[in-house]
Structure 1
Amino acid sequence: MQTTLSHAPVAAPECPAIPHEYTTLSAAEVSDALDKLGLPGSALGIAPIGTEPRMLGRAFTVRYAPVDLEPGTVGDYIDDVPAGSVVVLDNAGRVDCTVWGGILTEVASRTGITGTVINGACRDGAAAGQFGYPIFSRGRFMRTGKDRVQVAEVNGVVSLGDVRVRPGDILLGDGDGVVVIPRERETEVLQIALRTRAAEEKIIASFRDGKSLTDARNEHNYHTLQRIQK
């Protein structure tokens, strides 16, 4: 029997507001905290398109699959994405066709979506700079995904390579890339990231006061900051 995905609003999970302190953290600082907790949240190979944008929001997830006998939709989900979300597109890492382009960039930027992360490719990269909209992907390629891939699931579990993303997880991106913070652990990750930053600031202060970097690091336990806690 032939089945196709019909377009219907899909509710995003109810999640609290993202703690304000996350706006002060870098991807590197969050990555260190994830390492400390033994959480795989650093998305390898996902890089910013264009300038080095800043992105923070909760995941609205979309999974793609190769076209069925009857091709389905590619981008109609965009009308259902709540403002403040990050669109996470899982196209299985394919870079031979795109699942995001200039029209989606303008719509997203005008409706309050905070960024897009793609396990795959995008096109019309200049639009990201034109609208000041953060896009992170595995690369750029001009060929459309229409009639090559279609939306298979909205607001399900997706992947960015070896990192799982669930609806409502926090995504933070900057010039170093993208990290994913599981929503159940976001308070713990935040506390460790802030604690690690404070320790590194003390190391720099000690160095500026005349201590060697070796002594400053030893004084503030630098070599244990990212080590998995037991």
Structure 2
Amino acid sequence: MTDPQLVERLKKAGVTALSDALDRLGIEGQAVGIMPVARTMRFAGPAFTIRMLPVGLTGGVVGDYIDEVAPGTVVVIDNDGRPDQTVWGDILTFVAHAKGVAGTVIDGVCRDSDRCVELGYPVFARGNTMRTGKDRVTADAYNVPVQVAGVRVAPGDWLVGDADGVIAIPADKLVAVLAIAEEIEAAEDRIRTAVAGGMRLDEARRAANYHSLQTRAAAQH
């Protein structure tokens, strides 16, 4: 069971501050090009990973794993960025939403996008199309390391998504990344307040020590 307070803190921090925190720690976790079906969609949770492969002569299925995904978990599907065959659609959205799954991230495309919008279930992908992945790809492995837009995601790593995209945080770095992201958000609040009170932006940034918050820690002097 995921900690609801932790989930809310991650959502509140948002992916831009979390991205800056990853940069400060020298972690490549930005899944560039993976975007929400609807900009209002947000999620945070640990990864349940699936690696897809071309079906070849083996047969296989695309989506029967959903019954094993725990509430609060994020389904992460590595379909190698394929733009011409979907690995997520109406039925998977319906079941995942009913089970309380946190969201779905696909390095590839989805379909039946109206259903996830209707239910408010977060789906993040490279796009959507109508062509099924059935008999084209198969779920080859579960809960193994995968990659999403060139970012390594291991089972249990945390993913956060909002209107600006998706980031992945290694499980053992979650506390450190979140603490830095919240520090950045607090500094930005101080900057906005100072500027609203008449201070120049460059002065407000210096006063908040803003530049150092976004600079890789090892490179700071």
| TM-score normalised by length of structure 2 | 0.94
User: C-alpha displacement at 1:16, in angstroms?
Assistant: 6.5
1:124 maps to 2:112: yes
Q: Which amino acid aligns with 1:229?
A: A
User: C-alpha displacement at 1:212, in angstroms?
Assistant: 0.6
Q: How does 1:33-48 map to 2 (within 5 A)?
A: 33-48=21-36
Whether the aligned pair in 2 keeps the contact of 1:51 and 1:129 (CA below 8 Å) is no
Partner residue, 2:45: 57
Corresponding pairs, count: 216
Q: Deviations over 1:20-66 (max 9, x none)?
A: 52232111111111111111111100000134201111100000000
Partner residue, 1:143: 131
User: C-alpha displacement at 1:229, in angstroms?
Assistant: 0.3
How far apart are the structure 2 equivalents of 1:112 and 1:213? Answer: 43
- Classify 1:184/1:16 alpha carbon distance in 2 versus 1 (closer, same or farther; 3 Å): farther
Partner residue, 1:172: 160
User: C-alpha displacement at 1:204, in angstroms?
Assistant: 1.3
Partner residue, 1:67: 55
From the two aligned structures, give the one with the greater helix fraction: 2
Q: 1:91 aligns with which of 72, 75, 79?
A: 79
Instruction: Name the SS of the counterpart of 1:150 in structure 2.
Output: strand
Q: Which amino acid aligns with 1:61?
A: T
User: C-alpha displacement at 1:162, in angstroms?
Assistant: 1.5
Q: Which runs of 5+ in 2 are unaligned?
A: none
Partner residue, 2:67: 79
Cα RMSD of the aligned pairs, angstroms, is: 1.3
Partner residue, 2:3: 17
User: C-alpha displacement at 1:225, in angstroms?
Assistant: 1.8
1:229 maps to 2:207: no
Partner residue, 2:203: 215
Partner residue, 1:106: 94
Q: Deviations over 1:126-157 (max 9, x none)?
A: 00111110000011111010110001100000
Q: Deviations over 1:147-189 (max 9, x none)?
A: 1000110000011111111111111100001111110000100
Q: Which amino acid aligns with 1:179?
A: I
Q: Which runs of 5+ in 1 are unaligned?
A: 1-14
Q: Which amino acid aligns with 2:135?
A: D
How far apart are the structure 1 equivalents of 2:213 and 2:18? Answer: 12
Whether the aligned pair in 1 keeps the contact of 2:109 and 2:128 (CA below 8 Å) is yes
Percent sequence identity is: 48
Instruction: Name the SS of the counterpart of 2:101 in structure 1.
Output: coil
